[in-house]
Structure 1
Amino acid sequence: MVEQADTTTFSIESEAGDVDDVTIPTGLVSLLAEGEQSSAETVGDITLLSFASRAHHLVHHGEDADEDLVAQEELAMELFEERFGVSYAEATGHHH
């Protein structure tokens, strides 16, 4: 039987006051951290990366992306570049 791994729970709160918790294996957060990055920063980076990746997929590899989705994907890419200092294409090597 596999021993229970340690986990860390992160709370997410929106500006509107909505709250949710997500529990992630602590070791995974540590493995994915870059340098001296905090656990919260690591989860924040991966969250934005995940949203940007999903938006990119829907717009460029899905079917019939409407204007709102395209606009949201463009904003996600801008926020990605602000946070990481490189474009999504540069970071992922995925160019169109």
Structure 2
Amino acid sequence: MTDEVQTTTFSICSEDGATDEVTIPAGLVDLVAEGDQTDAETVGDVMLLSFASRAHHIVHHGDSADDELEAQEAEVMDLFEERFGVTFGEATGHQH
């Protein structure tokens, strides 16, 4: 096992000007990258997948979801399909 794992830091900026940074092992970015994706594109893909997965879980496997939450989940699923060219169910094999 390597003693020192290289990391890389990504900056996040929202429309309202709020910012944050996230540092992750650089090798993980390389591991999940597809083709000639940039590191930023790879992190963007993982972020959208994470939000879609979490929204799906809350709406379909949680205790209760109101109309607003269901609308948020529907929107993230549309954005997912727009970015990846397949539905969340097709990409994950998890369909209802």
Flag whether TM exceeds 0.5 (same fold): yes
1:27-71 alpha-carbon deviations (Å, 9 max, x no partner): 110011001111000000000000000000000000111111100
1:68 aligned onto 2:68: yes
AA at the equivalent of 2:55: A
Partner Cα separation in structure 1 for residue 57 and residue 40 of structure 2: 26
The TM-score normalised by the length of structure 1 is 0.97
Alignment-derived partner of residue 22 in structure 1? 22
Partner Cα separation in structure 2 for residue 64 and residue 28 of structure 1: 34
Alignment-derived partner of residue 45 in structure 2? 45
Superposition RMSD in Å: 1.0
1:85 aligned onto 2:80: no
Q: Structure 1 segments of 4 or more deviating over 4 A?
A: none
SS of structure 2 residue aligned to 1:75: helix
AA at the equivalent of 2:21: D
SS of structure 1 residue aligned to 2:5: coil
Alignment-derived partner of residue 35 in structure 2? 35
Q: Identity rate of aligned residues, in percent?
A: 67
Gapped regions of structure 2 (runs ≥ 5): none
Partner Cα separation in structure 2 for residue 4 and residue 12 of structure 1: 25
